[in-house]
Amino acid sequence: MALRGCCRLTRCLVRVVESRNAFFTGSVGLKSAGCLQYSCAIGKQGHPWRSLSSASQSSAVVTYEELKKLLVARSGVVIDVREPWELREYGNIPGSINVPLEQVNGALQLEPEEFKEKYGGDMPSTTENIVFTCLAGMRSVKALQTAMSLGYSNAQHYPGGWQDWAKHEILQTKE
């Protein structure tokens, strides 16, 4: 009896987490021994956050090649959400603007002049291409969710982050 109540509560909590984070898709079930079983669908490139929402599923993730084209064409804004010391320590994607993750919500609500003064780059409009990046894709997906909640309809993230960018750039210089 207690196990059944616990399982109902667990299923309910998993549904709440699924709906709030949109990180996981799958189902909750009970094994014969009464243990909770949760299956996680892993999306493109092995990242569970591929399914951010059904509306943005196909366009939420940017590859290295797509990011490179966006930067060359200057057809969007790239925002690196790492801390400033990380950029100094490891490097950054040329042309990106540094807005630490904790400041993204407030930054995207500033007046364009304030944004430019504080962050040194043009503030994206709510319809402009905006790509969030970080070290390895964890913080950028949080920034993406924040931007989407603020009405940024063309927001995306680069799940490979700085690590993937640096790997590709080093490989290109060796060729």
Q: Show which residues are catalytic.
A: 134
What is the Cα–Cα distance from 121 to 103, expressed in whole angstroms? 15
Q: Are 83 and 139 in contact (CB under 8 A)?
A: no
Torsion of CA 112, 114, 116, 119, to 10 degrees: -130
What is the Cα–Cα distance from 119 to 125, expressed in whole angstroms? 15
Q: Which residue's structure tokens are 């990380």?
A: 86
Q: What is the chain's length?
A: 175
**Closest to 162 in 3D by CA, of 89, 101, 106:** 89
